[in-house]
A = this chain, B = another copy of it.
Amino acid sequence: MATSSRRTGAETSKTRGVLLDCVEQLMLEEGYAAVTFRAVAAKAGVTSSLVQYYFRTLDGIFLAAIRRYTERNIRHLAEALQAPRDQLPRVLWEYSRDEATSALTTEFMALGNHRESVRAEIAEATEQVRKLQLDALSPGVDGHRFLDQELTPGALLLLIVGIPKFLNLEEGIGVRTAHRELVDAFEQYLGPVQPPVPKSRSGRSPRSRN
C-alpha cells in the first residue's frame, strides 16, 4: 500500500546495533520499564526520533532486542552441547545458571507476560532452545531417578533449567532461604566437575558416581 511516507532503518546499520546495545544496558540496569525512546536516545547520544526511525514502536525495540539476544544465546548453547554426553546434565546446568543470572531472559519473560508480540517471540525462542537441549540430552540419559521415581529426559531437563530460573527469580527480590541447600543437592547429583578434558589422549574419564 505505502500510503505513508514513513521509512525504517536498515537492519545492518551500525547505529542500529549501538541502539540495541543501549537497550540491553537499560534493561539490565533499570529494567524493561526504563526502555523508552527518549531514554535509549539519551544513552546513545542521538535524538529520540532516530530511535523511532529504526524501531517504529516500543514493541519493535523489544522484538529486535530479543531476536539478537536469542541468536547469540543459541550459538552459545550449540557450543555447550558439543560436550560428551555423560557431561550434558552438568553442562546444561551451568548453562542454565549463567543464563538465569544474566537476567536479560528474566526481563524478557516478565515483559512477555503482557505484551503479546513479545510473548510469542519468547515462547518460540524457549521452545527452540528446549528442543535443542532435549535432542542432545535424550539419548544419553537413562535411569535417572528423582525421589524414587524414574525421571524422563524431559523432566530432568525441566529441573535443570527450572531450578536456576526459579532461584534467580527469588534472588532478584532478595529471597535466598534454603537456596544453597537445593543447589548443593543438585550439584552433588551432577557429580564432580570434569577435569578439563585432555583431548583424545587417555581414553577414559574417571567418573565414579554411584
Q: Contacts of A169 on B, CB cut-off 8 Å?
A: 109, 165, 169
Pick from A7-15, A48-56, A71-79, A156-164 the stretch touching chain B: A156-164
Closest residue of chain B to A111, judged by CB?
Answer: B110
Q: Contacts of A155 on B, CB cut-off 8 Å?
A: 178, 181-182, 184-185
Q: Contacts of A120 on B, CB cut-off 8 Å?
A: 174
Whether A148 lies near B189 (C-beta < 8 A) is yes
Whether A189 lies near B147 (C-beta < 8 A) is yes
A57 nearest CB across to chain B (Å): 15
Q: How far is the CA of A134 from the CA of B178 in the complex (A)?
A: 10
A20 at the interface (CB under 8 A from B): no
Q: Contacts of A165 on B, CB cut-off 8 Å?
A: 166, 169
A42 at the interface (CB under 8 A from B): no
Top 6 A-B pairs ranked by shortest CB distance?
Answer: A154-B178, A31-B114, A147-B189, A162-B166, A155-B182, A155-B181
